[in-house]
Structure 1
Amino acid sequence: MMIKKTLIRSRFHSILNLTNKWFLVFLLFPTFSGIQSFPVPKLERRVMDHAGILSEATRNRLEESLKQFETETSNQIAVYTTPSLHDETIEDVAIQIFDEWKLGQKSKNNGVLLIVAPNERKMRIYVGRGLEGALTDIQAKQIIRNEITPSFKAKDMDGGVTAGVNAIISTIRGEYAPSEDDVNTTGSGESDEVSSGIVGGIATFISLFVAGFGGIVVTIIGILFLYPLLVAMFGSIFALIVAIILFFLVIFLKRIFGLGKGGGSGGGFYDGGSWSSGSDSWSSSSSSDSWSGGGGDSAGGGASGDW
């Protein structure tokens, strides 16, 4: 009888370990399939109109305006129009482009990306964390709604992009403020994310003390509730990575400290590694048409819209 119980326990742990491995594959698959799947072009100019929606005069005028603004403030603003999002969300595409281009100075993270996808009728203002105080999510939302969208609906792409860029510059300089209506609208969404995050955090903590497969289920449920807050804080791709690490951290703690009557050996968690950015300042060649990012990173905020 004792041998039979031991055999059953051994099989149960084998099934549990197999479940953990498949759950890892299940979580990591969308991460690896989504990261860098968008064909990010090489950054050469401040205005990259690959969708061909801007006139040459507008491109040149915006290029000079953004160059002058960077000379005065060191803030880097780039405009990119894409003919296709390749079945990805504009939020994920913006993150990939921003991180690949490394907009903003490394020590300041003061970059901004305005991306427009005319075929999908989507747009987004993505802000480096160093400028979140000067260009908030609320202000980015207002710029999209009040400055860009009306012109786009009137099929005036030149006017919409120009108005958006001018409003971004004015906001960073402290000359553009959100209305009371914008503050109220945005605030309710943030409250929902925080509430969901609190529920998820509590459930994830409780899962530490729930034994067996039930503990895994409670952990998954807790992280699902926590996920919207993680997205708001880190963006969708990095939020997924954080959620994965959090899941395996809970499993790791349960096994190390024997919480929830866990036990067994082995296990661990995924180390996503790190990457290094470029130099402290951006560099360009002698040609006025060449330009590159300065080593900044995203981890900031922004807003999206459509028309």
Structure 2
Amino acid sequence: MKRIFLSLLCLCIGPLFADPISIPKLEHRVTDLTGTLTSEQTDSLESKLKAFEKRKGSQVVIVMIPTTGEEPIEDYSIRLAEQWKIGRKKIGDGFIFLIAKNDRKMRFEVGTGLEGAVTDFSSKRIQTEFVRPLFKEGKYFEGIETGIDKVIGLIDGETLPEPETHTGYESSEEEDNFGYYIGALVVIGILAGIFLRKMFSILQAGAATYAGYWFGGILGFSLETMLPLLVIFFVLLCIIYIAAKSSGGSGGNWSSGSWSSWSSGSSDWGSSSSSDSSSDSFSGGGGDFSGGGSSSDW
């Protein structure tokens, strides 16, 4: 009798000490850890959600995992929401479509800013009337796409702040200053050529200008910030050269040989970075969730 009691006790409290299923890393708008969706289907959903975020500002993600383990899907979903922070900060316009395939359960986790548009009632209705029948037939992509389309339709009816656009240097004043920026860099390039025995030609200065402009834009530097930094860089370069020459070093050989090797060596770095530019990095915007939404099975 005592052994039976202990066995029942272990069955009851065992799940309380089980390790929870880990939250996957956020890298894309569509995360399928079950291998259910084809690459074409994933790309199609990814493009749809990306275009919607660009147009509306709201972040919508799809997460498909095998199971939530002993943890209820509601608890796992809110853990995921709190870690990923989908949606814009202080707006809370994030939405998560979570599917635990082996558990045959799904969950809509709705950000605080969308609870008026995607209510618990409408979430339940979309799941039961549109998604569940397709999931029962094994049509997961069709069910996900249908559910997402319904949710997007609801969010479209909500008045939300316009999405921010970042296209490098946005203000017209900075664009006007760009001409002065180009001129200043060309002058710096000519002066550097005089001091460094033409290590930098005007053409090379122009190439450096173009690369510096876009690289600085990626890092978020303004023109006013980049120009002094570049001046300091050239001044330090001149000082190093003069110091090396005064100590008996051959500045001419260094300048001619190092620039050619620098140019040829940079090709490897450029080719490796080109693959990174093709990838679409994605992260949450700081949105918050309070547990709104609905769960269903199929």
Distance 1:100 1:155, change over 3 A: same
1:288 maps to what in 2?
279
30, 51, 60: which one aligns with 1:47: 30
**1:153-176 deviation line (CA, Å, top 9, x unaligned):** 11111111111111110111239x
Q: Compute the displacement of 1:286 (Å).
A: 4.3
Whether the 8 Å CA contact 2:58–2:93 is kept in 1: the answer is: yes
Extract structure 1 runs of 4+ deviating beyond 6 A.
none
Distance 1:299 1:33, change over 3 A: farther
Structure 2 regions of 5+ residues with no counterpart?
1-12, 159-275
60, 75, 84: which one aligns with 1:77: 60
Q: Compute the displacement of 1:38 (Å).
A: 2.8
1:291-306 equivalent positions in 2, closer than 5 A? 291-306=282-297
Amino acid at match of 2:292: G
Whether the 8 Å CA contact 1:124–1:302 is kept in 2: the answer is: yes
CA distance in 1 between partners of 2:277 and 2:293 (Å): 33
Residues 1:128 and 2:111 are matched in the alignment: yes
CA distance in 2 between partners of 1:33 and 1:292 (Å): 31
Residues 1:163 and 2:146 are matched in the alignment: yes
Amino acid at match of 2:288: D
Whether the 8 Å CA contact 1:132–1:300 is kept in 2: the answer is: no
Q: Compute the displacement of 1:87 (Å).
A: 1.3
Larger radius of gyration: 2
Q: Compute the displacement of 1:287 (Å).
A: 4.5
CA distance in 2 between partners of 1:287 and 1:43 (Å): 18
CA distance in 1 between partners of 2:277 and 2:131 (Å): 33
Whether the 8 Å CA contact 1:128–1:299 is kept in 2: the answer is: yes
2:78 maps to what in 1?
95
Equivalent residue pairs, number: 168
Q: Compute the displacement of 1:86 (Å).
A: 1.8
2:92 maps to what in 1?
109
2:175 maps to what in 1?
none
CA distance in 1 between partners of 2:116 and 2:36 (Å): 31
CA distance in 1 between partners of 2:90 and 2:40 (Å): 34
Whether the 8 Å CA contact 1:140–1:303 is kept in 2: the answer is: yes
CA distance in 2 between partners of 1:117 and 1:80 (Å): 8
1:237-252 equivalent positions in 2, closer than 5 A? none
Q: CA RMSD in A?
A: 2.2
1:209 maps to what in 2?
none
1:205-220 equivalent positions in 2, closer than 5 A? none
Residues 1:67 and 2:50 are matched in the alignment: yes
Whether the 8 Å CA contact 2:20–2:70 is kept in 1: the answer is: no
Whether the 8 Å CA contact 1:38–1:96 is kept in 2: the answer is: no
Whether the 8 Å CA contact 1:105–1:294 is kept in 2: the answer is: yes
CA distance in 1 between partners of 2:280 and 2:102 (Å): 27
SS of the residue aligned with 2:37?
A: coil
Amino acid at match of 1:66: L
Amino acid at match of 1:143: I
Whether the 8 Å CA contact 1:129–1:299 is kept in 2: the answer is: yes
CA distance in 1 between partners of 2:297 and 2:63 (Å): 16
Q: Compute the displacement of 1:37 (Å).
A: 3.0
Distance 1:306 1:290, change over 3 A: same
Residues 1:174 and 2:157 are matched in the alignment: yes
1:215 maps to what in 2?
none
Q: TM-score, length-normalised on structure 2?
A: 0.53
CA distance in 1 between partners of 2:75 and 2:30 (Å): 20
